[in-house]
């Protein structure tokens, strides 16, 4: 079983400012700082370019797994697209054969943009099909809203 969910958010800030937060490690730092009720720690190996790995550790009892690792598979500064794939723990351990997130920033005008997020997933053949319910637009909207607030309010 495969599927995808996506969402978008208009952000009243220049596309370049939003992309600056999304493209590398600043987003991971903002998530770690802002979602302290869920996240225990995010460790990064790499500089935010393709190949960078994040080890995201969750607080006990907050999500159905203790950690997952994801790798940046695409960071395209020209088209403002970033792609990450979970490769260990978390969704992989639950029965997903693929869990992939794409962020895309589209310029509307000089002072606004559209931030899009898409999660694509596939379940292993023997996985419970109800696992697909773990893939939610809410997670991505939380990240997009965080990015919008960080950029619009000027907080670092």
**Catalytically active residues, by annotation:** 82
**Which residue, 143, 106, 137, is CA-closest to 19?**
106
DSSP codes of every residue in 81-142: EEEEEEEEEHHHHHTEEEEEEEEEEEEEETTEEEEEEEEEEEE-TTS-GGGGGG--HHHHHH
Q: What is the DSSP letter of 152?
A: H
Distances (CA, A) of 95 to 2, 122, 129, 145: 12, 9, 9, 29
Distances (CA, A) of 69 to 1, 19, 23, 42, 44: 22, 22, 17, 10, 10
Sign of the C-alpha dihedral computed for residues 140, 145, 21 and 11 taken in this order? positive
């Amino acid at each position: 079983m495969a599927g995808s969910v996506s969402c978008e958010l208009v952000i009243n800030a220049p596309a370049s400012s939003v992309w600056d937060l999304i493209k590398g490690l600043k987003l991971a730092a903002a998530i770690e700082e802002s979602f302290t009720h869920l996240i225990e720690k995010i460790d990064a190996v790499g500089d935010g370019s393709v190949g960078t790995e994040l080890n995201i550790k969750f607080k006990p009892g907050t999500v159905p797994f203790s950690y997952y690792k994801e790798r940046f598979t695409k960071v395209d500064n020209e088209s403002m697209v970033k792609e990450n794939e979970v490769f260990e723990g978390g969704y992989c351990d639950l029965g997903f054969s693929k869990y992939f997130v794409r962020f895309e920033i589209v310029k509307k005008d000089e002072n606004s943009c559209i931030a899009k997020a898409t999660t694509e997933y596939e379940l292993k053949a023997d996985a419970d099909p109800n696992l697909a319910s773990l893939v939610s637009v809410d997670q991505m909207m939380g990240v997009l809203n965080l990015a919008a607030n960080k950029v619009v309010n000027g907080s670092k």
